[in-house]
Amino acid sequence: MERVPESQAIAEMQDARRFNQVMGGNRFRQQEYRQLASDLCALGVPAGGKVLDVGTGTGYVALAVARQIRERGGHVVGLELSDAMLTMAAENAAGAGVDGTVAWRKGDAKAMPFADAEFDAVVSLDSLHHWESPPRVFDEIARVLKPAGKCIVRDSKRLQKWWLWLLVKTLSLSIPRDFRVHWWNSIKSSYTKSELESILARSRLRGWRVEQDLMGLSVIKEG
């Protein structure tokens, strides 16, 4: 299947609130956020460490990481281009009990508003397929990470087998109708493992590997 780029991420407030409602109420997605935070911390975020969440959206991954590192003096920054999504992230943070541990920053992932080697770890979930220039974003991740920094970038992968698409269509019956097409389009705009490896090879990020499961890809840098 040829890749079909998806339109830009959510920009309208009404759409952002609907997205937040669906993701916040889905226990499987919430477990995914917690698991990604655990996986990142398992790589080793030092006490007092600083973590960047690229394409933070409504902030759920950043908040999950913040809950795990706050008692060790850690700090999380969520980077997002959409004002509407940043508004939702701030609202979600208000009742999350992580005051002083998480902050939000508007910015383009292709030109991040951060200093070189500012972060101990970088995380991202379901953002990669939206990036206009993935090599440039991975260049920026390499720049803002400390030399021994950790990284997990996780996204869906483009499915190449008909039976996997049948599985997706079946699973999508359990999600709200207005989100089904969004999910399908996200998969169509995602990358295969070989495509992602080619992108990474053209970037300045080093020490990475790409892992895949049934429907997803993960770029992992252990330092």
d(CA 161, CA 151): 29
- Asked if residue 158 lies in contact with residue 183, where contact means CB atoms within 8 angstroms, the answer is no
d(CA 174, CA 109): 32
pLDDT value for 157: 95
pLDDT above 70 covers a percentage of the chain that reads 99
* Residues 75-127: tens digit of each pLDDT: 999 999 999 999 999 999 998 888 889 999 999 999 999 999 999 999 999 99
The answer to which of 9-18, 67-76, 213-222 has the lowest mean pLDDT is: 9-18
| For the chain, counts of helices (H) and of strands (E) | 8, 7
pLDDT at 165 over 80: no
pLDDT value for 7: 67
* Residues 31-40: tens digit of each pLDDT: 999 999 999 9
DSSP state of 64: H
pLDDT above 90 covers a percentage of the chain that reads 74
d(CA 101, CA 70): 6
Q: Give the chain's domains with CATH numbers.
A: 13-221 (3.40.50.150)
pLDDT value for 160: 83
pLDDT at 150 over 90: yes
Given phi > 0 = left and psi -120 to 50 = alpha, else beta, which region is 207?
Answer: left
